[in-house]
Amino acid sequence: MSKPAEGGLLERDDVLSQLNDALRSAANGVGRLVLLSGEAGVGKTSVIQGFVSGLSGRERVLIGSCDPLTTPRPLGPLVDVAGHMGPLLKKALDQTLAGAEVHGLFGSVLADLNAPGRMSILVIEDAHWADEATLDLLRFLAYRTEHVPVLILVS
């Protein structure tokens, strides 16, 4: 049996090491999207919490969740974190939720994550409950974060 890793997690040293490698890459301007997968109850959220608790505090951590609803909240994880992002993003989100196309919102998210002098970690929990717009946002970001100082964690 292995000893507890950061945050008291058992047998998670390899996962935390890979997340730290992805964090270093993102801090150097090469963004990463990491998918944490596994059966329900396996500890994905615990790994994320352990990883986040071990951060230096210089990073902006944004944590949003998808909820197990019959009708998913539109852009639920983004609604969760919008208050910690810039006013242009909040305005674009409000416009999108009022019926505007999502493309302007997606550009605003990318611009906010690419703000100079700031490293961001965007966590999207329970993506299997995501609405289509949230999944489209993840696809959009996956193709565009190569030169953005962001680590996107999706469980």
Its domain, for residue 51, covers 32-154
Alpha-carbon span 121 to 136, nearest angstrom: 19
Query: CATH no. for residue 90?
Result: 3.40.50
Tell whether 39 is covered by a domain.
Answer: yes
**Number of domain units in the chain:** 1
Alpha-carbon span 95 to 92, nearest angstrom: 5
Tell whether 75 is covered by a domain.
Answer: yes
User: How confident is the prediction along the chain (155 residues), in pLDDT tens digits per residue?
Assistant: 233 344 455 457 788 889 999 999 999 999 999 999 878 777 788 889 989 988 888 899 999 999 999 999 999 999 999 999 999 999 999 999 999 999 999 999 999 999 988 899 999 999 999 999 999 999 999 999 999 999 999 99
Tell whether 11 is covered by a domain.
Answer: no
Largest CA distance in the chain: 53
